[in-house]
């Protein structure tokens, strides 16, 4: 209808709208579908032409009020959807009476409707009121609707909670912006709008702080999403500056103020608010200011532990995002973080240590100083705790633990630092760790000291190289004989007086042993040394297991959390071993521990590992439905536990949120995972015995309160065992085991009380069973399931079988089961036609899996499958988001199967395209994601179906979507296009869009994809258009104005999309000509949102500088790029026919100037890149003759820039990396033809590289690894050697005699010293290769000996 009017309709819009209103007002009609269709048409008219037909708003509101009493859910939903479109389309310009009636209808009928779908749309209407200025609401209406939204956040349906959360955020944002409210008239007078006083406190902060009960987590997550909606509305809709967001950030952190005990879930919610609602919306300068503000907050009194943890984790994120530490914030950060290491809360101290680790990774210059300070402080604290007592002792022990945590975090990160740390520092840490482990002073602090010692040892092990560990492997291995060697019972008897402290020490020892296994044993294991390395480790683990068995049997009065933590770490250590057969002797003892969830299910919590075990490709079925991004998904799935274990200091990967799971649940998780590993290695009798235990637990728990938790644990244990069997290729012929496990899984599916996660687990388990068995078993299993469907009446059970059928085809292989595909497709199609939404979705998903796995075997059934999808899509009673997403996924599977048969004129392609166009009529991210994936499928399997231009224009707007999942899908598809047809994509000129996307990106994985795509485009495009890349990189690197769309930024003509042609996409396929929510082009987003200066971010500049430095190499080996005469001739003769006349040598002056600006600019990390580019330029163009000046070279005219760049690089304050690059550049200049005939330049250059010789021994960098100073010295000696060799070459061949004569006096001045150094360097090299590591040898570079002797 809208398209007809756009093309030109003889009937006016008013008449059309009036006709639909008359249709809806006719109560004689009884067909619900007619009402739904008319409401959709009228709603679309309002959405597109709302301001032109506002006169009909009163009638429309009355119609909605009347139709909300209709018994059909679909009609009520359609009416409210029409009302929402009318509210948004009219933009608050209609009669206030209409809005008042509409608001009354929504509040009276919509928000309290029995149908969750109706309530969701009602929430959308409230949001529509908010974003259009709240017409007809007034202060009272805002207050009542906000209060109602808060109550609705406890709704049992997630989609309803999300909708009301978004509405609540929009309402509160409107309430704090009275100037944007639509003013109503009272008796002819304008009633002034009022601010919603205390709105944040009443509707966001207090409900969050007071949340209790069974649905408290749902309420908190809903309030979190409302916070984000509110903050985005304030910044994006009402254009508040990002600096104002800092005040809201402090209010969000204050929600944790009263928590004296850490609440992990509340922490996670506030972290999400700060990261998504605050940090992601801030410009880089504001992020720097915010970082200083947070650092100062750490020094405030009355700060709760949760507030500390949230602040510290946000600081870490800011440091990672910025990629640098501003000079004005270094001191504040250092002082605040070091001071907080003495906090009385262990989680706070650990988080502070991790933040310092991030600081050292961003600013490596501070790592050495912090470690030296920590070692000194640790020695002092050790002496102090030996004499302190009472409360003072507790304070000193807290400080001791904090300093040790900092050292462990820093030394574990040292291997990732570009310049490392001095080897004496890990040695010092290892020495003090041994003292703590071996020389504990008193029982009062023995547990803490041993825990600290083992923590430091684990960190040192993770930081050491293979060679360093090999030199000390037996000395290090011997350390574990202290806790786990000798007579276990005797040690237990000795430890009875201080057993809890000893347990903490043993736990830390096992964790250190795990670090040794992961960082040294597994990476370096060979057939020769396997026994040597593993036998001691297995002996120690057996000792730890003996402790567990003895403590469990004796039932001593010990702390259960301490024992549980010891068991968890022991189980983790066993799982770290690469082959479970190596600890076969411990299987019986381990199984006694790991079968506890089945033998005593009432005492065990429900496992939280099922989400990680399940196939992520089925995630859309629930219960953990993918959301905005992985960060949101983690928040929704987050359970948290205040007693949850803290992260290991030596591990690189940290959990997204602190303390993600309670200790009891973590114990069950690792019991079940190790149960699965051992189950896979057991023989037939052992497997059957374990299955008997599982069966017994299921039978005895049917009517127990813990039955649901027990089913989850059974699913985790068996699924882990099956997946371990697939990895180890066990159970290939154990038919009896297959039957027993099949019976268990089918029994779970038949249970009426199971949840979606358990359904998925059982169905996937059947699929893995089919993979482990042979084709005959898989076929028999499929026939058995299809027979069960025929007699089943429960829709949930049928849906589970539909998924199981799809999983079997996916796991066992479609071609192997090709004979059963017709029957499977027929059975799934029949289930999909049944009138149950959940059965539709599960059946379509099973059909999708079958189609993907079947491949060519499914081609004869594509017509049937496609017709089914269209039939379901066109039935109005099934129009939910989940269903459209399932249909989109099915269409993508069809595209993958048909592939080359999808030509532009084929009926299959037209129908697939029409279905995708239909499902994208909404703005749900999950549906839009499938639409983007449709483009991806076409690129991969049917490239001939759509042109490159159409693909790029389809994906272009999605690059700036506010939904990370959409951005990731779009950039992944562009990456495929760049790899598949790189030449064609050059003409699309999307580089500026990609740089703008990279600058705005907050997800590291998406940023990595963007950088890889830009790199690929650079490699392909540079040979034909180097000037374009020079311009692009210059605009980013040297940007000095906020106007990215103007002279110093990205050209408007190449980043604006208002006039973009979308090719032949006349059906609005996928995300193209229609506006996607939050997916405005990057340039328009900046112009709308950023009113202050917005420069490219530091990390974007760095990447652009890296791209710039690659251009001279990326142009390839074509000689014309490096010969000015050839380039001029080619441009004159061939013109645009050859390379467009774009040769790199024609832009040499611009490139040299750009490299000089980068090498001497204000950004420290960019300077070495500029010098590297100058080195490459000299290398590529030093022999290029100047056609305008015969007998001269082209590079001679750039002497001034080159000499100035060298002077800056060799300055005493220059960084080590810049100094190294400067010496290379100086060597290049002195040994090239650039300085020919210019004696002054020669003297200056040689003087610059000679100056460091005066303090040769002083070229030592105590904050960095020893090799750093060695490298600088060697680079300096190499520079002089190269110059001397060049001078000798000139003399011998009688070349450039003038230049030789100038160099001779300078060379002779230091020849004796240089000769001694060169001989010493050769001697060092010889000793190292001969492994002569003796202090008696006279070393030129003493640090070489010291580092290798370590």
The yes-or-no verdict on residue 1083 having pLDDT over 50 is no
Q: What is the dihedral of CA 1235, 1239, 1244, 1248, to 10 degrees?
A: 70
In this predicted structure, what is the pLDDT of residue 1213? 84
What per-residue confidence (pLDDT) applies to 993?
92
Q: What is the pLDDT of residue 13?
A: 79
Element holding 189 (H helix, E strand): strand 189-191
Look at residue 1037 in the predicted model and tell me its pLDDT.
Answer: 92
- State residue 1338's pLDDT score: 59
How far is the C-alpha of 32 from the C-alpha of 857, rounded, in Å?
41
pLDDT of the residue at 368: 92
* CB of 936 closer than 8 Å to CB of 894: no
Most confident of 516-525, 871-880, 1172-1181: 1172-1181
* Angstrom distance (rounded) from CA 519 to CA 924: 44
Range name among 185-189, 498-502, 650-654, 1039-1043 with the lowest pLDDT average: 185-189
Q: Is the pLDDT of residue 194 over 80?
A: no
CB burial readout 3-19, b (16+ within 10 A) else e:
eebeeeeeeebeebbbe
SS3 1253: helix
Q: What angle do CA 867, 868, 869 make, to 5 degrees?
A: 90
pLDDT of residue 838: 79
Question: At 1094, phi and psi to the nearest 5?
Answer: -130, 95
Percent of the chain's residues with pLDDT above 70: 89
pLDDT value at residue 65: 93
Average pLDDT over residues 472-496: 86
Nearest to 686, CA basis, from 544, 584, 550, 538:
584
Yes or no: say if 966 and 932 are a contact pair by the CB < 8 Å rule.
yes
Q: Measure the CA–CA gap between 508 and 890, rounded to whole angstroms.
A: 50
Residue 1278 CB neighbour total at 10 angstroms:
15
Structure-token pair, residue 172: 């509160």
Instruction: Tell me the two tokens of residue 1281.
Output: 């050697």
Rg (CA), the chain: 35
- Does residue 1193 sit in helix, strand or coil? strand
pLDDT in tens, 600-631: 999 999 999 999 999 999 998 989 888 777 88
For 1031, the token pair is 């311009």
* CA neighbor of 1206 nearest in space, from 1256, 1242, 1253: 1242
| Close Cβ partners of 467 (under 8 Å, ≥ 6 residues apart) | none
Of 61-75, 1133-1147, 1188-1202, 1304-1318, which has the strongest mean pLDDT? 61-75
Query: Taking a C-beta distance cutoff of 8 angstroms, is the pair 836, 795 a contact?
Result: yes
Give the DSSP H/E element, type plus range, for residue 1041. Answer: none
The SS3 call for residue 190 is strand
At residue 189, φ and ψ (nearest 5 deg) are: -105, 145
Residues 6+ apart with CB under 8 A from 1060: 953, 956
pLDDT > 70? residue 733: no
Q: Which pTM was predicted?
A: 0.90
The whole-number pLDDT of residue 1057 equals: 28
- The predicted-structure confidence for 47-81, as pLDDT tens digits, reads as follows 888 888 888 899 999 999 999 988 888 899 999 99
User: Cα(1136)–Cα(1126) distance, rounded to whole angstroms?
Assistant: 15
pLDDT digits (tens, 9 = 90+) for 551-594: 888 766 678 899 999 999 999 999 999 889 999 999 999 999 99
Q: Could you read off the pLDDT of 375-413 as tens digits, one per residue?
A: 999 999 988 888 888 888 899 999 999 999 999 999 999
Strand partners, 191: 184
Task: For the chain, give the percent of residues with pLDDT over 90.
Answer: 49
pLDDT at residue number 498: 80
- Percent helix, strand, coil in the chain, to 5, is 75, 0, 25
pLDDT at 703: 85
SS3 92: coil
Q: How confident is the model at residue 238 (pLDDT cuts 50, 70, 90)?
A: very high
140 or 853: which carries more pLDDT confidence?
Answer: 853
Task: Using the Cα atoms of residue 746, residue 747, residue 750 and residue 753 in order, give the sign of their dihedral.
Answer: negative
Tens of pLDDT, residues 783-834: 999 998 887 888 899 999 999 999 999 998 767 788 899 999 999 999 988 8
Residue 277 DSSP code:
I
User: What element of type H or E holds 1242?
Assistant: helix 1239-1250
What is the reported pLDDT for 605?
Answer: 93
CA distances from 459 to 18, 605, 647, 661 (A): 75, 32, 12, 24
**What are residue 1185's phi and psi, to 5 degrees?**
-80, 150
Q: State the chain's maximal CA–CA distance in angstroms.
A: 111
The dihedral sign for the CA sequence 622, 628, 634, 636: negative
Distances in Å between the Cα of 1275 and the Cα atoms of 919, 1152, 1227, 1278, 1346 are 63, 24, 10, 5, 20
Helix (H) or strand (E) holding 765: helix 756-772
**CA-to-CA dists, residue 1187 to 1128, 1151, 1200, angstroms:** 10, 19, 21
CB 601 within 8 A of CB 614: no
And the tokens for 397?
A: 């022990």
Most confident of 302-311, 729-738, 1229-1238: 302-311
Scanning the structure block, which residue is given the tokens 């996928």? 1070
**Most confident region among 689-698, 805-814, 826-835, 920-929 by mean pLDDT:** 689-698
Q: For residue 1347, what pLDDT is reported?
A: 44
Query: Scanning the structure block, which residue is given the tokens 């399931």?
Result: 785
- Output 1155 or 524, whichever has higher pLDDT: 1155
φ, ψ dihedrals at 190, nearest 5°: -75, 125
282 and 326 Cβ atoms separated by less than 8 Å:
no
Q: What mean pLDDT value characterizes the chain? A: 86
Residues across the chain: 1350
Residue the block writes with tokens 């900046």: 1086
The arithmetic mean of pLDDT across residues 746-752, rounded, is 92
Specify the pLDDT at position 731.
63
Rounded to an integer, what distance in angstroms lies between the CA atom of residue 646 and that of residue 588?
Answer: 30
List the single range of 122-136, 353-367, 460-474, 1289-1303 with lowest mean pLDDT. Answer: 1289-1303
Tell me: the pLDDT tens digits for 593-604? 999 999 999 999
Handedness of CA 558, 561, 563, 566 (dihedral sign): negative
Nearest CA among 721, 644, 659, 666 for reference residue 690: 721
Q: Does the N-terminal peptide bond of residue 623 adopt cis geometry, omega within 30 degrees of 0?
A: yes
Q: Where residue 266 falls among pLDDT bands split at 50, 70, 90?
A: very high
pLDDT tens digits, 1241-1260: 888 888 898 888 888 887 88
Greater model confidence, 1120 or 1047:
1120
CB–CB of 91/79 below 8 Å? no
Please state, in angstroms and rounded to a whole number, the distance separating the CA atoms of residues 1145 and 478.
64
Is the per-residue pLDDT at 1063 higher than 60? no
Looking at residue 600, the DSSP 8-state letter turns out to be S
CA distance 200 to 181: 18
Residue 833: per-residue pLDDT: 86
Where in 238-300 does DSSP place strands (E)? none
Sign, Cα dihedral of 322, 326, 330, 332: negative
Enter the tokens of residue 1290: 């000139």
Grade residue 3 by pLDDT with cuts at 50, 70 and 90.
low
* pLDDT of res. 644: 86
Phi, psi at residue 277, to the nearest 5°?
Answer: -80, -30
Q: What string of DSSP letters covers 240-252? A: --GGGHHHHHHHH
Provide the 3-class DSSP secondary structure of residue 973: helix
The Cα–Cα gap between 34 and 24 comes to 9
Cα distance between residue 102 and residue 99, in whole Å: 5
Query: What is the model's pLDDT at position 1345?
Result: 42
Q: Looking at the predicted structure, is the pLDDT value of residue 429 above 50?
A: yes
> Do the Cβ atoms of 274 and 318 come closer than 8 Å?
no
CA distance 387 to 445: 11
Which pLDDT value is given to residue 1069? 33
CB distance 413 to 374 below 8 Å: no
Separation in Å, CA 1117 to CA 61, 825, 1113, 1129: 71, 56, 8, 18
User: Is residue 1055 predicted with pLDDT exceeding 80?
Assistant: no
């Amino acid at each position: 209808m809208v398209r007809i009017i756009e093309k030109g309709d003889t009937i006016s819009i008013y008449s059309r709208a009036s006709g639909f209103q008359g249709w809806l007002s006719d109560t004689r009609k009884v067909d619900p579908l007619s009402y739904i269709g008319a409401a959709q048409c009228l709603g679309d008219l309002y959405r597109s032409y709302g301001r032109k037909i506002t006169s009909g708003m009163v009638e429309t509101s009355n119609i909605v009020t009347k139709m909300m009493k209709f018994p059909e859910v679909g009609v009520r939903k359609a009416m409210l959807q029409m009302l929402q479109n009318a509210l948004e389309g009219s933009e608050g310009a209609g009669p206030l009476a209409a809005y008042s009636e509409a608001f009354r209808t929504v509040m009276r009928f919509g928000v309290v409707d029995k149908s969750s779908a109706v309530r969701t749309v009602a929430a959308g209407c409230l949001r529509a009121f908010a974003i259009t200025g709240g017409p007809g609401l007034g202060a009272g209406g805002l207050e009542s609707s906000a209060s109602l939204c808060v109550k609705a956040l406890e709704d049992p349906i997630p989609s309803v909670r999300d909708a009301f959360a978004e509405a609540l955020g929009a309402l509160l944002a409107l309430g704090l912006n009275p100037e944007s409210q639509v003013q109503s008239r009272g008796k002819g007078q304008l009633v002034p709008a009022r601010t919603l006083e205390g709105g944040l406190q009443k509707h966001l902060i207090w409900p969050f702080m007071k949340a209790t009960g069974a649905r408290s987590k749902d309420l908190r997550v809903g309030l979190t999403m409302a916070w984000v909606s509110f903050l985005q509305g304030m910044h994006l809709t009402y254009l508040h500056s990002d600096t104002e967001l800092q005040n809201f950030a402090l209010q969000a952190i204050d929600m944790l103020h009263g928590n004296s005990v850490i609440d992990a879930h509340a922490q996670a919610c506030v972290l999400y608010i700060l990261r998504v609602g605050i940090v992601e919306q801030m410009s880089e300068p504001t992020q720097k200011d915010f970082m200083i503000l947070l650092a100062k907050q750490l020094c405030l009194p009355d700060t709760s532990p949760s507030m500390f943890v949230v602040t510290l984790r946000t600081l870490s994120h800011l440091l990672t995002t910025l990629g640098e530490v501003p000079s004005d914030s270094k001191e504040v950060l250092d002082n605040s973080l070091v001071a907080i290491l003495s906090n009385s809360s262990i989680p706070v101290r650990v988080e502070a240590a991790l933040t310092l680790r991030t600081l050292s990774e961003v600013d490596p210059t501070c790592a050495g100083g912090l470690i030296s300070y920590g070692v000194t402080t640790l020695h002092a604290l050790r002496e102090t705790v030996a004499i302190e007592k009472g409360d003072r002792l507790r304070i000193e022990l807290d400080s001791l633990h904090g300093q040790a945590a900092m050292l462990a975090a820093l030394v574990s990160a040292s291997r990732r630092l570009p310049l490392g740390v001095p080897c004496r520092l890990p040695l010092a840490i290892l020495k003090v760790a041994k003292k703590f482990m071996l020389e504990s002073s008193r029982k009062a602090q023995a547990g803490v000291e041993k825990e600290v010692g083992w923590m430091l040892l684990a960190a040192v092990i993770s930081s050491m190289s293979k060679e360093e560990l090999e030199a000390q492997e037996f000395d290090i291995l011997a350390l574990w004989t202290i806790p786990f060697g000798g007579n276990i019972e005797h040690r237990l008897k000795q430890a009875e007086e201080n057993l809890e402290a000893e347990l903490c020490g043993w736990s830390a020892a096992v964790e250190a042993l795990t670090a040794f296994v992961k960082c040294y044993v597994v990476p370096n294991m060979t057939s020769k040394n396997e026994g040597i390395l593993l036998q001691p480790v297995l002996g120690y683990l057996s000792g730890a297991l003996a402790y567990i068995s003895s403590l469990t049997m004796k039932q001593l009065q010990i702390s259960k959390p301490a024992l549980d933590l010891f068991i968890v770490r022991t189980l983790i250590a066993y799982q770290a071993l690469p082959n479970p057969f190596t600890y076969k002797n411990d299987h019986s003892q381990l199984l006694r521990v790991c079968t506890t969830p089945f033998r005593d299910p009432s005492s065990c919590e429900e496992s939280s590992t099922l989400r990680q075990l399940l196939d992520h490709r089925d995630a859309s079925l629930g219960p953990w439905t993918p959301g905005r991004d992985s960060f949101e998904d983690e928040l929704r799935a987050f359970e948290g536990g205040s007693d949850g274990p803290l992260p290991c200091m030596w591990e690189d990967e940290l959990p997204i949120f602190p303390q993600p799971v309670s200790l009891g649940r973590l114990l069950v998780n690792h019991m079940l995972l190790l149960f699965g590993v051992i189950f896979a290695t057991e023989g037939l009798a052992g497997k059957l015995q374990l299955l008997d235990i599982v069966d017994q637990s299921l039978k005895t728990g049917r009517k127990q309160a813990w039955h649901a938790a027990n089913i989850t644990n059974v699913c985790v244990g068996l699924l882990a065992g099956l997946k371990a069997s697939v990895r180890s290729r066990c159970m290939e012929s154990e038919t009896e085991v297959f039957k027993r496990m099949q019976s268990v899984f089918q029994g779970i599916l038949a249970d009426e009380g199971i949840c979606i996660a358990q359904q998925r687990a059982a169905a996937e388990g059947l699929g893995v069973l089919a993979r482990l068995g042979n084709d005959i078993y898989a076929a028999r299993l499929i026939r058995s399931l299809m027979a069960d469907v025929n007699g089943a009446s429960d829709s949930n059970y049928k849906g589970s079988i539909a998924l199981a059928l799809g999983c079997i085809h996916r796991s066992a292989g479609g071609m192997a089961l090709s004979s059963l595909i017709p029957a499977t497709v027929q059975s799934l199609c029949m289930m999909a036609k049944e009138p149950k939404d959940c059965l539709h979705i599960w059946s379509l998903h099973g059909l999708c899996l079958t189609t993907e796995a079947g491949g060519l075997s499914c081609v004869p059934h594509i017509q049937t499958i496609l017709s089914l999808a269209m039939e379901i899509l066109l039935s109005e009673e099934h129009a939910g988001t989940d269903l459209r997403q399932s249909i989109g996924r099915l269409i993508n599977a069809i595209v993958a199967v048909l592939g080359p048969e999808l030509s532009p004129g084929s009926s299959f392609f037209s129908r697939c395209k029409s279905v995708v166009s239909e499902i994208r009529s909404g703005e749900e991210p999950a549906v839009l994601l499938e639409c983007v994936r449709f483009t991806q499928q076409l690129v991969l399997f049917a490239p001939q179906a759509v042109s490159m231009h159409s693909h790029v224009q389809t994906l272009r707007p999605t690059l700036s979507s506010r939904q990370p999942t959409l951005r990731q899908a779009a950039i992944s598809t562009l990456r495929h296009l760049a790899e598949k047809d790189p030449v064609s994509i050059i003409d699309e000129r999307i580089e500026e869009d990609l740089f703008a996307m990279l600058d705005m990106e907050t997800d590291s994985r998406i940023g990595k994809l963007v950088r890889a795509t830009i790199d690929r485009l650079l490699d392909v495009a540079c040979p034909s258009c180097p000037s374009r890349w020079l311009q692009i990189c210059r605009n980013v690197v040297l940007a000095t104005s906020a106007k990215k769309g103007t002279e110093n930024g990205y050209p408007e003509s190449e980043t604006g999309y208002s006039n973009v042609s979308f090719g032949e996409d006349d059906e609005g396929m996928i995300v193209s000509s229609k506006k996607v929510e939050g997916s405005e082009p990057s340039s328009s987003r900046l112009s709308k949102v950023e009113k202050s200066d917005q420069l490219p971010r530091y990390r974007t500049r760095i990447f652009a500088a890296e791209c710039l430095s690659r251009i001279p190499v990326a142009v390839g080996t074509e000689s014309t790029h490096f010969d000015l005469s050839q380039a001029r001739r080619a441009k004159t003769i061939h013109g645009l026919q050859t390379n467009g006349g774009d040769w790199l040598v024609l832009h040499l002056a611009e490139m040299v100037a750009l490299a000089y600006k980068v090498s001497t600019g204000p950004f420290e990390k960019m300077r070495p890149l500029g010098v590297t580019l100058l080195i490459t330029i000299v290398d590529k163009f030093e022999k290029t003759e100047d056609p305008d000046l015969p007998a001269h070279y082209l590079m001679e005219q750039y002497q001034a820039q080159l000499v100035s760049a060298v002077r800056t690089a060799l300055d005493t304050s220059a960084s080590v990396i810049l100094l190294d690059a400067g010496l290379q550049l100086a060597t290049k200049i002195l040994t090239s033809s650039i300085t020919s005939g210019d004696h002054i330049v020669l003297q200056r250059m040689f003087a610059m590289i000679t100056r460091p010789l005066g303090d040769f021994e002083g070229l030592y960098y105590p904050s960095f690894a020893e090799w750093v100073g060695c490298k600088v010295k060697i680079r300096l000696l190499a520079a002089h050697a190269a110059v001397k060799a060049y001078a000798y070459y000139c003399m011998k061949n009688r070349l450039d005699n003038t230049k030789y004569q100038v160099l001779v006096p300078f060379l002779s001045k230091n020849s004796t010293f240089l000769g001694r150094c060169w001989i010493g360097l050769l001697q060092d090299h010889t000793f190292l290769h001969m492994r002569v590591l003796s202090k008696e040898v006279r070393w030129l570079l003493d640090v070489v000996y010291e580092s290798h002797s370590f």
